[in-house]
Every structure is written in structure tokens, then in C-alpha cells.
Amino acid sequence: MSEAASVPPAEGQEPLERGGTRARIQAVAVELFTEQGYDKTSLREIAERLGVTKAALYYHFKSKDDILHSLVDDYFGQVDALIAWGQSQRRTAEVRDEILVRYLDIVIGGHQVYKMLHQNQAALAGKHVKERGQLFRERMNSIIDLLTGPGASLPERVRAAVAASGLSIGWMLFHDDTQDPCELRSAVLGVARELTEGAGPPAVALRPAGQDQEPAAARTRGSTR
Amino acid sequence: MSEAASVPPAEGQEPLERGGTRARIQAVAVELFTEQGYDKTSLREIAERLGVTKAALYYHFKSKDDILHSLVDDYFGQVDALIAWGQSQRRTAEVRDEILVRYLDIVIGGHQVYKMLHQNQAALAGKHVKERGQLFRERMNSIIDLLTGPGASLPERVRAAVAASGLSIGWMLFHDDTQDPCELRSAVLGVARELTEGAGPPAVALRPAGQDQEPAAARTRGSTR
DNA sequence: ACCTGAACACCGTTCAAGT
DNA sequence: ACCTGAACACCGTTCAAGT
């Protein structure tokens, strides 16, 4: 049932768990947090489903909050890696497009966790509003910077914000209803691309002026297929 | 401090509150729910801030959940009214634009409550997932229908979804940082308009073909100023 | 190393009782 | 009509103790 792959996974900063109880706790937690919400899920429920006592959970995690944050770290770690990658690249249209694609794939891959996080934003915001609570906002601002450049105007930044958050919103909104995820991926990506193309540092005209035939019509409808 | 207007407000379906204790509870609740989150806010805190006991709150509301839902009803009532209005109108480009404007103004007017609801989505999803929990999704689907028409393709529906949710996301994301809300309103609205123009039932060409000068350039950048 | 049993303060909710 | 005081089951957390 909860058998790991035959080759042991590369050891991260977490101590390697042999019995896998820690991972089983995470799996049950992400399921219940998504179904019922973080605060409505009690540690007793998690413990009962695993056949242990409440107190046993405290051997593996410092607190209930710590379980949630172990999940958060996994997800935002991917986003942070993407942002770091983007910051190391030159600011070209190709890189900006690649950021959209990679960000969408992170959202798609972490669909379950992302949905859970999105529903439980309040639980992420601790009383000490120093680091937490602004998790989404911080990342979004970094992504906006990558998509526009530092000195962009407000309308340009709004376009980038709607493009990036539109990827996740669009995916989450239609994912449960669609029977063709591939088509949805293309549609969502198409909208985001449309909002970001022509963004970035003010470029000189690339094509010699003169033959601007049918420039609007081709962009208006989603021609991703 | 908490003095009502001199002219008594029109009586709704709620029993008219003379002392205004009920309204005071709502005001304190919306504040604390936004700051700390629904689940992290205890009834004791609300009661203490009002100088009453916990049990006193149960005279005005059936439960803690009931306080939250009284706030929800106020907000979604406005959205439902907009949707009903939209459904009674003809499906023209003007009506679709008016829907965007009115929806944005609802978001702006209910900024505080909207932010609170968005952060506490998990609290809204009861265990009985019949009516609740899908509050946002239901409304969004109705708005998408109004902006596109029933037989729209997936890319068209995604465009409308990103446009509508972009209004609220864009507003929430930049509102705290901007010092010119009017400029932000224009920028956000501009992006949404760009995503919805050309939507709706397949229209015949409105202008006689022939003089399509510079159609794309003016639309590409936000020319709201 | 991994888990239990019992205790702690706090939570939402109820209800008889007061004015 | 409006509110209190005391009780209820449940929650997250701790900790000495077991293997």
C-alpha cells in the first residue's frame, strides 16, 4: 500500500525515515486537510486513521502547524527554485515563456497540495506576521518582476499578475470538470501567453514597419490547437 | 464611536436591532477574522472586546459559523443580484462590459469582507458539501456564462474566468501597495476588458472591411491613462 | 528510537437562571 | 428581550513512563 520505490530516495535535509511513519502522516494529513480543512481536522482523526495515538504524532512533528508547514515547504521549494532559476537567466521573451510553462507544471504537479494551501490560507498566517501569511504574495511579486522587469508600469504589472495567477486559478477552476487536461493546459497557457507577450524591457521594433497584415485577429481567439 | 446614522436604515429581512449589538458583533468579527483567521479567533476574544460574555453572543447568533455566514450572505447577495441582473439583460458587448465594472465595484466595496472570505475558504466549506464550499465556484461559473454564452469553447471560458477572477486578484494583490486606487482600478479593468472583448456569440463584422489601421498596437499596452 | 496514558488549559456550545 | 455562570465534550500540547 504505502510501499516506497525499491531504490532509496536521495536524502534531503530531513532525517531519513525508515518505517515511513512520517511520510504516512503527511499523506493522511494532506488528504484530510484538503477534504475538511486544516482547522476542522483533528490530530485524533489523523492518529486513528494510522492506528496510533495522538501523542505519537508529536514524536515526528513538533506541532500540528509543523505538519502543515512540512507540506508547504515541499511546494514552495519548487516555486522558489523556479524563481531562482529565472533570476539567473537573461531577460528574454523565451525565458519569460519558460517561466509560465514551468510555473504551470508546478501547479499541475502539486495540484492536491496547492488546492489545500489555497483553501487554508488563514491557517498559514501565524499571529507573528513577519515571514508567513504573505507566502503567496511574496512569490507572486517575484514572478511579476521576472515577467516584467523592475521598472514596469502598474498596468504592465497587473497584466503579469493576472497572467501568472490566471494559470493556477484557471487550472483549479476547470480541472475537476474537464475530461481533457491537455486541452485545458493549452487553453490556460494560451491566455497567460497572450497577457505577457510584448512585455519585458521596452524593445525596439523587431520587424521593419510596413506590412502589418491582420495583426489582431490571430491573437484574439485562443489558437492553441 | 459606534454611532449609527441619524436616519434609521431601511429594515431588511433581519429583525431590526435597536441596541445594535448584533451589528457590533459583526463589525468586531470581520476585523478579527481578517486579522487572525476564522478558526484562530475565539468567541471569548470577540466577547471581551465588546464587554460581554461568550454566552451572550449566542443570543444574537446560533453559532460561530452563523456569524461568518451572516457576513457571507451580505457579500454574495450583491454578487447574486449582479448575476440576476445580467441574466435579465440582452447579451451585448455593452452588458458584458457593465458586468465587469459592476463586479469590480462589488469587490472594491466589499474589499474587507472579500479578503476575509478569500482567506477563510476552508471555514466556509462545511462537512456537508452540498451547498457551501462551492460558493466562489458557483458564482464564477455563472459569471463565465454571462461573459461568454452557454456554448462557448474551453479557451473562451478560460479567458472569461481569468478576466473575472483577475479583477479581484489584481485588486487584492496591489491594493495595499498602491497610493492611487483609481489608477489601479483602471489598470485592472483594462486587463479584464482586453480578455473579454471579442467574446460572446459569434458576431458578424461590425465595420465595413477595408480600413483596419493600427488595430493591435493601441490594445497591447494598458492605455488607461 | 518509537510510542502510550494521563493530565493541562482552552475551545464552541448549551441551558437554567437572573433582570 | 437581553445577558450571566456554570457545566459539557472536544481540542492541541506536554511529559513521565514504557518497550
Residue in chain A closest to B127 (alpha carbons) equals A36
Name the residue among A39, A137, A170 with its Cβ closest to that of B173.
Answer: A137
What is the Cα–Cα distance from A141 to B38, expressed in whole angstroms?
26
pTM of the model: 0.79
Radius of gyration of chain A (CA): 21
CA dist list (Å): B136 to A33, B76, B79, B220: 19, 9, 10, 30
State the CB neighbour count (10 A cutoff) for residue A99.
Answer: 21
Q: Kindly indicate the confidence band of residue A183, based on its pLDDT and cuts at 50, 70 and 90.
A: very high
Asked whether residue A204 carries a pLDDT value surpassing 50, the answer given is no
pLDDT for A136 equals: 86
- CA of residue B8 to C1' of nucleotide C17, angstroms: 34
pLDDT for A225 equals: 30
Asked whether residue A92 carries a pLDDT value surpassing 80, the answer given is yes
Cβ–Cβ under 8 Å, residues A141 and A59: no
Q: Kindly indicate the confidence band of residue A60, based on its pLDDT and cuts at 50, 70 and 90.
A: very high
Chain C: nucleotides under 7 Å from a protein CB?
Answer: 2-6, 10-16
pLDDT for A99 equals: 98
Asked whether residue B162 carries a pLDDT value surpassing 50, the answer given is yes
- A127 close to B (CB below 8 A): yes
Q: Kindly indicate the confidence band of residue B118, based on its pLDDT and cuts at 50, 70 and 90.
A: confident
Query: What is the rounded average pLDDT of the residues B57-86?
Result: 95
Query: What is the rounded average pLDDT of the residues B122-129?
Result: 65
What is the Cα–Cα distance from B121 to B135, expressed in whole angstroms?
9
Query: What is the rounded average pLDDT of the residues A13-23?
Result: 63
Cβ–Cβ below 8 Å for B37 and A125: yes
Asked whether residue B63 carries a pLDDT value surpassing 70, the answer given is yes
Q: Of A111-120, A161-170, B4-13, B29-38, which gets the smallest average pLDDT? A: B4-13
Protein footprint of strand C, defined by Cβ closer than 7 Å to any strand atom = A 17-19, 21, 47, 52-56, 58-60; B 41-45, 54-55, 58, 62-65
Rank A127-141, A191-205, B42-56 by mean pLDDT and report only the highest: B42-56
Q: Is the CB of A70 under 7 A from strand D?
A: no
Query: What is the rounded average pLDDT of the residues B103-121?
Result: 91
Which residue, among B173, B36, B125, has the nearest Cα to A35 in the 3D structure?
A: B125
Query: What is the rounded average pLDDT of the residues B80-86?
Result: 98
pLDDT for A150 equals: 82
Query: What is the rounded average pLDDT of the residues B134-138?
Result: 85
Cβ–Cβ below 8 Å for B122 and A40: yes
What is the Cα–Cα distance from B67 to B60, expressed in whole angstroms?
9
Cβ–Cβ below 8 Å for B127 and A215: no
Q: Report the greatest alpha carbon distance in chain B.
A: 75
Half-sphere exposure of A185 (CA within 13 A, CB side): 14
Q: Report the gap between the CA of B33 and the closest CA in chain A (Å).
A: 9
How many residues comprise chain A? 225
Closest alpha carbon to C1' of C2, residue: A59
Which residue, among B213, B17, B55, has the nearest Cα to A215 in the 3D structure?
A: B213
Which residue, among B108, B175, B147, has the nearest Cα to A157 in the 3D structure?
A: B175
Higher-pLDDT residue of B20 and B180 is: B180
What is the Cα–Cα distance from B110 to B115, expressed in whole angstroms?
8
Asked whether residue B37 carries a pLDDT value surpassing 50, the answer given is yes
What is the Cα–Cα distance from B114 to B118, expressed in whole angstroms?
6
pLDDT for A223 equals: 37
Cα-based angle A115, A120, A126 (whole degrees, multiple of 5): 140
A108, containing H or E segment: helix A93-109
Contacting residues of A for B191, CB less than 8 Å apart: 155, 158-159, 162, 195
Q: Is the CB of B52 under 7 A from strand D?
A: yes
pLDDT for A198 equals: 72
Query: What whole-number percentage of chain A has pLDDT above 70?
Result: 76
Name the residue among A122, A158, A188 with its Cβ closest to that of B120.
Answer: A122
- Interface A–B counts its CB contacts (< 8 A) at 147
Asked whether residue A19 carries a pLDDT value surpassing 90, the answer given is no
pLDDT for A15 equals: 45
CA dist list (Å): B184 to A118, A173, B53, B193: 24, 25, 43, 14
Roughly how many angstroms between the first and final C-alpha of chain B, as a whole number? Answer: 39
Query: What is the rounded average pLDDT of the residues B185-199?
Result: 93
- CA of residue B57 to C1' of nucleotide D8, angstroms: 18
- CA of residue B40 to C1' of nucleotide C11, angstroms: 10
Dig out the grid coordinates for A17 from the structure: 525515515
Which residue, among B139, B134, B135, has the nearest Cα to B161 in the 3D structure?
A: B139
Q: Report the gap between the CA of B127 and the closest CA in chain A (Å).
A: 7
Asked whether residue A219 carries a pLDDT value surpassing 70, the answer given is no
State the CB neighbour count (10 A cutoff) for residue A170.
Answer: 26
Q: State whether the Cα torsion B46-B49-B53-B59 is positive or negative.
A: negative
Protein chain B, residues 14-43, with a C-beta closer than 7 Å to any atom of nucleic acid strand D: 17-19, 21
Roughly how many angstroms between the first and final C-alpha of chain A, as a whole number? Answer: 40
- CA of residue B50 to C1' of nucleotide D8, angstroms: 25
Contacting residues of A for B210, CB less than 8 Å apart: none
pLDDT for A175 equals: 94
What is the Cα–Cα distance from A190 to A223, expressed in whole angstroms?
8
Q: Kindly indicate the confidence band of residue B224, based on its pLDDT and cuts at 50, 70 and 90.
A: very low
Mean confidence (pLDDT) of chain A: 82
Q: Of A14-18, A215-219, B34-38, B148-152, which gets the smallest average pLDDT? A: A215-219
What is the Cα–Cα distance from B83 to B142, expressed in whole angstroms?
7
How many residues comprise chain B? 225
Asked whether residue A36 carries a pLDDT value surpassing 50, the answer given is yes
Cβ–Cβ below 8 Å for A165 and B161: no
pLDDT for A108 equals: 96
Cβ–Cβ under 8 Å, residues A171 and A188: yes
Query: What is the rounded average pLDDT of the residues A168-189?
Result: 96
pLDDT for A128 equals: 38
pLDDT for B199 equals: 66
Q: Of A9-13, A209-213, B202-206, which gets the smallest average pLDDT? A: A9-13
pLDDT for A6 equals: 29
Asked whether residue B169 carries a pLDDT value surpassing 80, the answer given is yes
Return the residue in A153, A162, A165 with the most chain B beta carbons within 10 A, the one to mutate for interface testing. Answer: A162
Per-residue pLDDT tens over the stretch A121-132:
889 875 334 455
- B181 close to A (CB below 8 A): no
- A121 close to B (CB below 8 A): yes
Report DSSP state, residue B20.
Answer: -
Residues in Cβ contact with B193 at an 8 Å cutoff, skipping those fewer than 6 apart: B97, B100, B163
